[in-house]
Amino acid sequence: MKNRTAVTALPTSEEMNLLIVDAIQDIKGKNIVKLDLTSLEEAPARYFIICEGESSTQVKAISENIGKKLKDKMGVSPNHIEGMEGSRWILVDYFDTVVHVFYPETRAFYDIEELWGDANVTQFENI
């Protein structure tokens, strides 16, 4: 009898995005939006998911929960993480989807939604 290795399908971007939003909502992240950048030629990713936390502690907790949930449920780790030291803007890069977890004032200053204003926007409920 031959050994067969189980092949697990990689999660789709949409499955990952929904789990990311769920992970943000777990930690009570606010003002969650998904920018669909797929129709924009210059976009650095297919999707941005943007949210905010009310303190640097919450910003860090949101980003850590995203990493834990995607690793535990999908076996996916981020390609790159930036900003954990100051926790005012943490970027979590999953290649197709880049997550931006902001402190509110930092989000207002950088205004990524305006910068990528041509993207299709999906807003998610604050829980």
How many separate domains does the chain show? Answer: 1
Domain containing residue 84: CATH number: 3.30.460.10
Three-state secondary-structure class, residue 65? helix
Query: Is residue 54 predicted with pLDDT exceeding 90?
Result: yes
Whether 62 maps to a domain, the answer reads yes
In a domain, 2, yes or no: no
Of the CA atoms within 13 Å of residue 88, those in its CB half-sphere come to 7
pTM of the model: 0.90
Q: How far is CA 96 from CA 1, 6, 15, 92, in A?
A: 39, 25, 12, 11
Structural domain harbouring 66: 13-123
Q: Give the percent of the chain with pLDDT over 90.
A: 84
Which among 125, 65, 127, 71 is positioned nearest to 90, based on CA atoms? 65
Q: Which pLDDT band holds residue 86 (cuts at 50, 70, 90)?
A: confident
C-alpha R_g of the chain:
15
Find out whether 68 and 77 touch, Cβ atoms under 8 Å. Answer: no
Residue 8 lies in a domain: no
Q: What is the pLDDT of residues 4-34, one digit of tens each?
A: 555 457 789 999 999 999 999 999 999 999 9
Per-residue pLDDT of 95-108, as tens digits, reads: 999 999 999 999 99
Answer whether residue 50 is part of any domain: yes
Is 7 a member of any domain?
A: no
Q: What percent of the chain has pLDDT over 70?
A: 93
Higher pLDDT among residues 6 and 126, named by residue: 126
